[in-house]
Amino acid sequence: MSEPEGRSEEGWGGGRAPEASGRHSMTGRRARLFGRGPAVPGSRQTDPEAADASPVPVAEAERAAVSPPAPAIALTIDALGRKCPIPIIMLAEQIRDVPLGAVVAVLADDPAAYTDIPSWCMMKAHEFAGYQELPPGGWALYIRRRL
């Protein structure tokens, strides 16, 4: 077999493929991910000998999340029980009825609305201001009108 023009074994990292040299040249992030490099600073150690050294602080993600208070709502759209794309259509029709900077709450229980409404906000240059889970199921999705 002939090699492609301009490419030789030397062109692929100093003459040898990593398999031929018997070692892998992983550096940086890939090496840490695959356990061949230095540990990431602040990472948890699983070595039993190192467990006695010092306790590792609890990460932010492991703390109990406290949901922020809901913003002041100018309009609530009840789309519970409606399937995609009806919640977005209802939002698109009614968001013009609120002043700029006001917040619209869309109540929806369709999983597609949970992902589609933030995407719609980005496409239409509105601000997705967050969400809260509803006790009976579903979400209250908050949209701040920007245009």
Please name the residues in contact with 40: beta carbons below 8 A apart, sequence gap of 6 or more.
Answer: 32
What is the distance between the alpha carbons of residues 110 and 60, in angstroms, rounded to a whole number? Answer: 30
Query: Could you give the CA distance from residue 35 to residue 57 in angstroms, rounded to a whole number?
Result: 22
Is-contact 86 93, C-beta < 8 A? no
Token pair for 106: 């869309």
Active site residue 84: yes
Query: In sequence order, which residues have a C-beta less than 8 Å from that of residue 72 and are 6 or more positions away?
Result: 103
Q: Which entry of 31, 74, 84, 129 is annotated as an active-site residue?
A: 84
Residues annotated as catalytic are: 84
